Amino acid sequence: MTLLELKNIWKTYTLGSAQVHALRGVSLSVNKGEFLAIQGPSGSGKSTMMSLIGCLDLPTKGTILLNDIDIASMPESQLAQIRGKKIGFVFQKFNLITTLSAVENIALPMIFQRISHNEQLKRTIALLHQVGLGDRIHHKPTELSGGQQQRVAIARALATNPDIILADEPTGNLDSTTGRQIIELLVTLHNNSSKTIILVTHDDELAHYAQRIVYLLDGKIHKEWRRR
C-alpha cells in the first residue's frame, strides 16, 4: 500500500536574478513498511527532498500525498501537526536538549501532542529498553556516548508512533563501528515493527541496508534499484 507519493515535484529557489532548481520534476512512491535510502552527491537535491517529505518546506509545484492527503499546499499550522504526529526525525547532530535527561528528551514530542504523563513515562521507558538504554534513563546527553545519544534520538523519533521515520545522515557524526550499530538498530526496528524508514545518506555501505535505493543527480532521480 502506498504511504507517500511525490508527483512531478519541483523546488526552485530565487537567488538574486537567478533561479536554482533544487528538484526538477521528481516523482516517487514509497510503500507502507518500506525501507528506502536516498543517495546522491552534494547539491543533488537530497536535503531538499528530505525537507519536503518531512513537511519542513513546500514544493514550488507538484503534489505530495501522505496517506492520500495532499500536503504540498498546506498552511504551516497544519504542517506542524503532521510533523508532530506522522513523522519522526533522526538527525546527524542528534539535536538533544543537553539540560534534559534521556527520558525527558524522548517525552518532548508527546508533550506537544498532549499525551498524558503516565503514558509518556510508559512509552519512554519502553523505548529506552527497545534501543538498549534501559540503564540510562536519567542520564543527560553529556553523560552519554555519541552512539548512545543517537539511540535516544531514535527513541524520541518513535515516541508518537509516526508513520515515517526520516533519518538524515544518522551516522554522520559517529565512527564506523558505532555507525554500523545504529544502522543495524534501524534495520531491527524496521523488521520488528514494519515501520516505514527513509534514510538520507551519502554512504554506499549504509544505503545497502535498505530495501530500495533512489539515487538523485542534479535534482532528478537518476536511477533506482532494489537491494532485497
173-206 per-position pLDDT tens digit: 888 889 889 999 999 989 888 889 999 998 888 8
Burial 169-184 (b: 16+ CB within 10 A, else e): bbbebbeeebbbbbbe
Neighbouring-strand partners of residue 199? 37, 167
Mean pLDDT of 99-112: 93
Structure confidence at residue 228 (pLDDT): 59
Residues 6+ apart with CB under 8 A from 117: none
CATH of span 31-59+73-226: 3.40.50.300
Residue extents of the structural domains in the chain: 31-59+73-226
Mean pLDDT of the chain: 92
Share of the chain above pLDDT 70, in %: 100
Assign residue 78 a region (left: φ > 0; alpha: ψ between -120 and 50; beta: otherwise): alpha
- pTM for the whole structure: 0.91
